[in-house]
Amino acid sequence: MPLDPAFVRQLRRRLSDDEVLTGPEGCVAFECDALTMYRRVPDLVLLPRDSEGVQAVMRAASHHGVPVVARGAGTGLSGGALPVAHGCLLVLSRLNRILEVDPRQRLARVEPGDL
């Protein structure tokens, strides 16, 4: 069963055009992580720029029953970021800000993307 067009429309209302990739030509670069033995071109790739975008993706996916696979930089060797059929790939690499640094407590709070 292909992705529900209403799901994609809902995401396009919240995310910009360069945050929503559809079609093989836009999604093929995300077909695998560093473990290249297993590949699957995702049906939809989402690249939100902020946590609000991630929340919008997760709300819409939950509402429409769409599976979500989270992906960081794609350097994993376990295949954990392999896209699933009729799902979306949530790429977190754009979330790359340092949110807080507390040297006294030796603590840094950062987003999960590439720093």
What tens digit of pLDDT does each residue of 45-100 get? 999 999 999 999 999 999 999 999 999 888 888 888 999 999 999 999 999 999 99
Please state the pTM of the whole predicted model: 0.88
For the cut 90, the answer to whether the pLDDT of residue 40 exceeds it is: yes
Which of 83, 85, 90 has its CA nearest to residue 59? 90
Say if 55 falls within a structural domain. Answer: yes
Say if 115 falls within a structural domain. Answer: no
Concatenated DSSP letters of 7-45 = HHHHHHHHS-GGGEEEHHHHHGGGS--S-TTS----SEE
Say if 49 falls within a structural domain. Answer: yes
Say if 22 falls within a structural domain. Answer: yes
Say if 59 falls within a structural domain. Answer: yes
Domain ranges, residue 58: 5-110
Amino acid 7: pLDDT: 96
CATH number of the domain where residue 65 is located: 3.30.43.10
The mean pLDDT value for 18-26 works out to: 94
Contact 61, 39 (CB under 8 A): no
CB atoms within 10 A of CB 71: 21
When divided into structural domains, the chain yields a total of 1
Say if 88 falls within a structural domain. Answer: yes
Say if 78 falls within a structural domain. Answer: yes
Task: Return all residues near 38 (Cβ < 8 A) that are at least 6 apart.
Answer: 32, 79, 82
Say if 100 falls within a structural domain. Answer: yes
The mean pLDDT value for 32-54 works out to: 94
Amino acid 115: pLDDT: 58
